[in-house]
């Protein structure tokens, strides 16, 4: 019984957190980055600063909801990844993306990650 309760709590919690990610609708880049920080997707100050500096609305076709934390179409059957995925990638790459280093983004799609990486390496 205890195992079932624990499994249920974990599944419900993850579902609620997943739903909250889509229900909380940031209205601008700053609010989006605050959401990513609150969710634990972005923690590093350099990553947070970079995400604040690159406004997602310039890379999305849908001008009404560019700040939703989900993938969005950018045309030609391609999508821009969800902001939490951008944050995750930058968090994983932060040690390699140091001032003066070089980076290459293969399959850059919208170019959002390329710009973020460029800002992090200077």
Kindly indicate the confidence band of residue 12, based on its pLDDT and cuts at 50, 70 and 90.
low
Neighbouring C-beta atoms of residue 5, cutoff 10 Å: 9
Structure token digits, residue 35: 């959401």
Q: Identify the H or E element spanning 75.
A: strand 72-75
In this predicted model, which residue has the larger pLDDT, 44 or 7? 44
Asked if pLDDT for residue 2 goes beyond 90, the answer is: no
Tally of domains within the chain: 1
Domain that holds residue 85: 2-121
Instruction: Report DSSP letters for 22-54, one per residue.
Output: HHS--SSHHHHHHHHHHTTS---HHHHHHHHHS
Q: CA 65, 70, 73: angle at the middle one, nearest 5?
A: 70
Residue 108 confidence (pLDDT) = 77
Is residue 96 within 8 Å of residue 114, measured between CB atoms?
no
Q: pLDDT tens digits for 22-67?
A: 567 899 999 999 999 999 999 999 999 999 999 999 999 877 889 9
Q: In sequence order, which residues have a C-beta less than 8 Å from that of residue 60 and are 6 or more positions away?
A: 66, 72, 74, 80, 110
Residue 26 confidence (pLDDT) = 94
In CATH, what number is assigned to the domain containing residue 94? 3.40.50.150
How high is the mean pLDDT of the chain?
86
In this predicted model, which residue has the larger pLDDT, 19 or 89? 89
Structure token digits, residue 122: 């200077």
* 110 flagged as catalytic: no
Is residue 120 within 8 Å of residue 91, measured between CB atoms?
no
Q: pTM for the complete prediction?
A: 0.78
Residue 15 confidence (pLDDT) = 58
Asked if pLDDT for residue 21 goes beyond 80, the answer is: no
Out of 53, 81, 108, 110, pick the active-site residue. Answer: 81
Residue 61 confidence (pLDDT) = 87
Residue 76 confidence (pLDDT) = 87
């Amino acid at each position: 019984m205890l195992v079932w309760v624990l499994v249920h709590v974990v599944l419900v919690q993850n579902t609620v957190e997943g739903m909250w990610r889509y229900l909380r609708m940031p209205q601008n880049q700053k609010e989006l980055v605050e959401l990513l920080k609150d969710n634990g997707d972005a923690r590093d100050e350099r990553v947070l600063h970079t995400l604040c500096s690159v406004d997602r609305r310039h890379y999305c076709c849908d001008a009404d909801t560019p700040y939703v934390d989900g993938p969005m179409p950018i045309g030609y059957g391609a999508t821009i990844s969800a902001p939490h995925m951008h944050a995750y990638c930058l968090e994983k790459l932060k040690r390699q993306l140091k001032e003066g280093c070089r980076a290459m983004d293969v399959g850059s799609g919208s170019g959002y990650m390329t710009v973020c990486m460029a800002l992090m390496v200077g």
